[in-house]
Amino acid sequence: ETGVTQTPRHLVMGMTNKKSLKCEQHLGHNAMYWYKQSAKKPLELMFVYSLEERVENNSVPSRFSPECPNSSHLFLHLHTLQPEDSALYLCASSQDDRDLEQFFGPGTRLTVL
């Protein structure tokens, strides 16, 4: 595997479910990111991790909980989501959190019923 991978690619969940999105990067990068891409809205940065420490949290609701166990893996734990949370969730990585070029994964298309 090369680049940035995300699983699952598609996820449908109810508002009471708990699920997790997984991201893995094979580029030897030290920074990882979660973005939310909703229809007709600009890309929203959710979380930034650098060397496994969270360096930015853009006022994201607590029903989204990130986890970065090591520099290659990033998770987004989901619980009690709302229908308006339905979106494409993109993971990205970069050499460090000041590196300007980010490499994106294919995204997870999330639908909350």
- What 3-state class would DSSP assign to 73? strand
> By C-beta, is 17 or 97 nearer to other proteins?
97
Place of tokens 């490499």: 103
- What 3-state class would DSSP assign to 96? coil
Give the tokens for residue 65: 């909980």
Q: Is 106 in the site for other proteins (CB under 8 A)?
A: yes
8 Å CB contact between 83 and 18:
no
- What 3-state class would DSSP assign to 60? coil
Distance separating alpha carbons of residues 87 and 48, to the nearest angstrom:
19
- Contact segment (CB under 8 A) with other proteins among 14-22, 61-69, 72-80, 101-109 equals 101-109
Q: Is 90 in the site for other proteins (CB under 8 A)?
A: yes
**Could you give the string, one character per residue 17-56, with x where binding to other proteins holds by CB under 8 A and - elsewhere?**
-----------------------xxxx-x-----------
Of the residues 4, 46, 110, 112, which one makes contact with other proteins according to CB under 8 A: 4
- Contact segment (CB under 8 A) with other proteins among 3-11, 13-21, 60-68, 70-78 equals 3-11
